Structure 1
Amino acid sequence: MLSRFGFRTGFNPKQAEKKRVWIHALSVGEVISAVPFVNALKDQFKDLAIVFTASTKTGFDMADQLFLKKISQNKDTALVDQLGYFPFDLGYCVKKISRQIEPDAVVLVETDLWPNFLYEMEKKEIPVVLINARLSKRSLNGYLVFKRFSSLFFSSLTGIMAQTPLDEERFQRLGIDKSKISVVGNIKFDQPVADMNQSRIDSIRDRFGIQNQTKVFVAGSTHEGEEKILCEVYKRMKKNFSEFLMILAPRNPQRCPSILSYLLSNNVHAVSMSTLDGPNIKFNRRPDVILVDKMGELCRLYAICDAAFIGGSMVRQGGHNPLEPAAFSKPVLFGSDMSDFLLISRMLLDHGGGKKVESEQKLTKELKTILGSRQIQQHMGIRSFEVFSKNCGAVQRIIKNLEHLHIV
C-alpha cells in the first residue's frame, strides 16, 4: 500500500491561518467510535482543519463513507478536510507523512500506538492525545513485562483520556504521571442514532418481505465460527416461529460468499442483501437469512429487529458495540467475551437490557423467551435504551480537556 509509505497520499499543504488536527483511528470500530467526536469538533471549531487517517482498508472505506461521502444531518460540507492512511511505523514513512500533514496536534482514538510515530511527534514537539482510551487486563500484563519501556512509551503522550476509572488505574500502574490521565467516559454513548422514522423502517421491511407476524433477529458484526452457531440457532428457532427471519452481518463483508455457501449447503435459504437492490424485486418465498454484504448498513438494520446478537463475543474477539441496538430500544444478546466493551455490557446486564449467552443452547433459549413474549421484549428494550441515554457527555468532556491543553 504505497500511501502508507508516504507516496501518492493526496494530502494538501497546510493553510497557514488554520490550525490542523490529525485524528487517527485504527479500523472500522474505532472509525465509527470517532463519529460523535469529529461531529462535535466540526460544529464547535469552524476554522479547524481536520485530517483523518485509518490503518486498514475497511477502516479507510468506512471513514470515506461517514466523513466525506455521507453528509451529516443539517450540514452541507464534509466532516473532515482530508482523509488518508496512517504511515507504517518506519522512520522514513512517519517523517514523510508527518511532513505532508504538518499537524499542530494528533488525537488517537482508543488504540494504535507506535513507538517511531510517538518518538517523531515528541521530537517535533507535536502534542499527541489518546482519547476513549482503554487498557485490557491482558494488554496491561503484557506492558508490565517491559514496564520501564512501557512507562517511557506512554509518557510521551500529552494526555490520556480514559473510558473508566479501571482503565485509569491500569494506566497508572504503568508508571504514567497521574496528571496526564483523566476519566471522561466512553464516546460510544454519544454516537448519533441513525434517522429511522417509521416510513424508512417500513421501506426496509417491505424490501425484505417482512410481514407483521415475522420475528426478526439481527446478528451483527459476526466472526468466523459464530455463523455456524447461528445457523443451528436459526434451525431451532424456525421450529418455534414459522415466520422467522435472521439478518446476518459479518464483521468483514468479504466473508459473505463463503458464509452464503455454508448456509445453502445446510439447507438454509439465504441471499445476499445486494441481490435485493434491483427494481421490483418480488419473492416467491421470503429468504430464511439475509446476509449483509455492504459496509455501513448494520446500524440501520437494528431498527427493524425484535432482538439483536452482538458478534465477536462467542469467539475470542472482545465483542463489538452493543449500544447500536440499544439506541433503538432493542433487547441485546452477547456471548461470554465482551472484554472490549466490558463496562457497557455489564451495564446492560445489570439494568436488564441485555443477556449473556455462552452457548448455542443458551442463545436459542433466551431468544425463544424474548420473541415469545412481547412484554419481555419491550421491557428489555426500554432498559437497554436507558443505559444508552443516561451515559452521554464524554465528547464534551474530551473537547473541554483539549481546550485546556490548547489543542483546539
Structure 2
Amino acid sequence: MLFIWIYRLIFAPIALLLTPKYLLKMRRRGDYKGTLSMRLGIGIEDWPRTPGKRRVWMQAVSLGEILVIEGLLRKLVEDPKVELLLTTTTSSGYRLAKEKYSEICDRIYYFPLDFWPFVRKFWKRLRPDLVICAETELWPEHMQQAANAGVPMVLVNGRLSDRSFKYARKLKWAYGRHMLLLSKVIAISKGDSSRFIAMGVPSDRVLVSGNLKLDVSIDEILDEDQKRELRVSLGLGDGFVLLGSSTWPGEEETLLSIFRDLRERLPECKLLLVPRHVERRSEIRTMLEQNASDLTCRFKSESDTFAPLDILVADTNGELRVLTQLSDLAFIGKSLPPCREGQTPIECGLLGVPMVFGSGMSNFKSVCEGMIKMGAAIQLSDVDSLREAIESLALDEAARQEMTQRQSKWAVASRGALARTFAAIEGFVRDGGPK
C-alpha cells in the first residue's frame, strides 16, 4: 500500500505542472471539447448491475490498440451473458471506437485520469466484474481500484519496450509489489514475459500468446483497379511510390533527401508522407516550403482529388491502411535516431508492402526480429545505409516481389494469438461475477 499512497501524493503536483502542456495539446488537436468531464469521472452515467450479466471493461489507449482488440471484443460478445465497457485515451481512438464498436459495446467512454477521486468515481458508477488492459496500460490507481473491488485484472498483448523496462527496473523497489495486483499477464513474446516476471509478476501468472496485431483482419483491401484509380485521383499516377509510414520530426527531411536522389534514376517516382501526428501539418508545410519549393506538394486535408504532384502529405486520421496499399516501398517511422521505439511495421507486413526501418524499433522488437529472420523486412543502422537500401529496392522490382512473398509466409506463421489469448481469459470471463 505504501507505493499507491506515494503515487497519490505526487500525482497532483505533477498533473498541475503538466496541465499547460495538456491544454495546449487539446487546443492543437481541436477535438477534445466536451470530454474533460468524462476524464474526470463525472461526465458518465451510473450503470446499475444487470442480473445474470458479467461486465467486462476493456481499456485500449489509442487508435492502433482499438483496431488490435477487435477480434477479442467480438469473441467476448459471443457470450450473451457478457456486457462490454470499452474505454480509450486518445481522441482518435475514441472516434474509431464509436464508429466500429457502438453496436457490440454497451458503453464507450474516455479513460479517466489516473487520480484517486476520478478513478474511484468511475469505478463506483460502472462496477465491472473483469478488467482487461491492452499492451502497456498499467495505471497504478486503476490497478488499485480493481484490487479494492476484488475484480481480476488481466493484461493482454503485454509488452515492455527496452526503454520502459530500463526505467521499470530502477523503480522496482517502489512498485514491484504493486505488480502482484495483476491476475494474469499475457505477453507477446518470451522476452516480454521474462521482463514482467523480473518486475514482480509471479511466473505462474504469465504466459506467451504471440501478438494480437498479427491476427488483425484488414477489411479495407483494395484490388488492383481500385489502387490504380485511387493513385490517379490523389495525383500519384502509376509510377513508383515511396511511403513514409507514421513519420516523426526529422524523418520527413531525410526521406525528402532520399527522394530527390531517387528521382534521378526514377523521374516518375512520388513521395507519400503520412506523419504520425496530423497536427504537425504546419511544421511539415514549412519544411517543404523551405526545401521543396521546386516540387509540387499537396496536403490530403485540402482535397480528395489532385492533379499530378510530386509529394502528397496525408495529414488525415485513420487512412494509413488504405494509403499503404498505394505504395511500392515503405519506410517505418520513429525508427531513426534519436527515436528508439518505432511505429508498427505490422500493417505493411500483412498487406505485403516491402519495407525498411531504422535501428530504433524497441516497441516491436519481437515482430521485427521475426520479419528480419524470414527476409520480410530490412533494418538499417544509419541514414546512409537507409538511402542505399531504398534506392536498391526501388530499382529492383524482383527483390520487392520476393520480399512480399516472404511477408506472406511470415504472416501465416505468426497467427494464432487471438485463440491463445481468449483461451487464457475465458475462465476469468466465465467466473468473474460480482465480488
So what's the TM-score if we normalise by structure 1? Answer: 0.90
Separation of aligned partners in 2, 1:363 and 1:251:
20
Q: How does 1:201-220 map to 2 (within 5 A)?
A: 201-212=227-238, 214-220=239-245
State whether residues 4 and 88 of structure 1, in contact with CA within 8 Å, keep that contact through their aligned partners in structure 2. yes
Give the secondary-structure state (helix, strand or coil) at the position aligned to 1:404: helix
The number of aligned residues is: 392
Which residue identity is paired with 2:188? Q
1:19 partnered with 2:42: no
Unaligned runs of 5+ in 2: 1-35
Q: Residue in 2 aligned with 1:304?
A: 326
- 1:349 aligns with 372
Partner of 2:131: 106
Shift in alpha-carbon separation, 1:12–1:236, aligned structure 2, 3 A: farther
Q: 1:361 aligns to what?
A: 384
* AA in 2 matched with 1:2: S
Q: Deviations over 1:352-394 (max 9, x none)?
A: 1111133333222111111211110100111122212211111
Measured in 1, the distance between the counterparts of 2:171 and 2:278 equals 37
Is the Cα–Cα contact under 8 Å of residues 40 and 395 in structure 1 kept in the other structure?
Answer: no
Q: Distance in 2 between matches of 1:273 and 1:342?
A: 32
In 1, Cα distance between the equivalents of 2:104 and 2:358? 35
Q: Give the match's secondary structure for 1:45.
A: coil
1:323-361: CA deviation from partner (whole Å, max 9, x where unpaired): 101112111111110000001111111111111133333
1:377 to 372, 395, 400: 400
Q: 1:170-189, aligned counterparts within 5 Å?
A: 170-189=195-214
Distance change >3 Å, CA 306–CA 136, structure 1 → 2: same
Contact kept? 1:263, 1:269, Cα under 8 Å: no
Name the aligned partner's letter for residue 251 of structure 2. E
> Which ranges of 4 or more aligned residues in structure 1 deviate by more than 6 Å?
none
Measured after TM superposition, the shift of residue 148 of structure 1 is 4.2
1:300 shift after superposition: 1.2
Secondary structure of the 1:240 match is coil
* Aligned match for 2:168, one of 140, 143, 148: 143
Deviations for 1:284-335, whole angstroms, at most 9, x for unmatched residues? xx11111112111001111121111111111424111111011121111111
TM-score scaled by structure 2? 0.85
Find the residue that maps to 1:203 and give its secondary structure. Answer: helix
Deviations 1:253-286 (A, max 9, x none): 1112221231132123211113332xxx451xx1
2:308 equivalent to 1:274: no
TM alignment of 1:263-342, pairs within 5 A: 263-266=288-291, 267=293, 268-277=295-304, 281=305, 283=307, 286-314=308-336, 315-342=338-365
Partner in structure 2 of residue 53 of structure 1: 87
Q: Does the 8 Å CA contact 1:217/1:305 hold for their aligned counterparts?
A: yes
CA contact (8 A) 2:340 2:359 kept: no
Q: How do 1:203-282 residues align onto structure 2 when only pairs under 5 Å count?
A: 203-212=229-238, 214-266=239-291, 267=293, 268-277=295-304, 281=305
Residue in 2 that maps onto 1:132: 157
Shift in Å at residue 47 of structure 1? 4.2
Matched residue type, 1:217 = L
Structure 2 CA distance for partners of 1:373 and 1:144, relative to 1, 3 Å: closer
Q: Does the 8 A contact of 1:330 with 1:385 survive in 2?
A: no
Structure-1 separation of matches of 2:181 and 2:370: 33
Aligned-residue CA RMSD (Å) = 2.0
> Does residue 63 of the first structure (1) align with residue 97 of the second (2)?
yes
Larger CA deviation: 290-299 vs 267-276 = 267-276
Counterpart Cα distance in 2 of 1:11 and 1:244: 56
- Secondary structure (helix, strand or coil) at the match of 2:264 reads helix
1:33 aligns with 2:68: yes
Identity between Structure 1 and Structure 2 (%): 26
2-side partners of 1:172 and 1:85: how far apart? 30
Aligned residue for 2:273, secondary structure, equals: strand
Partners in 1 of 2:164 and 2:92 — Cα distance? Answer: 24
CA distance change for structure 1 residues 66 and 220 in 2, over 3 Å: closer, same or farther?
farther
Give the conservation status (yes or no) of the 8 Å contact 2:236–2:309: no
Distance 1:114 1:104 in 2: 18
Give 3-state SS (helix, strand or coil) of 2:86's partner: strand
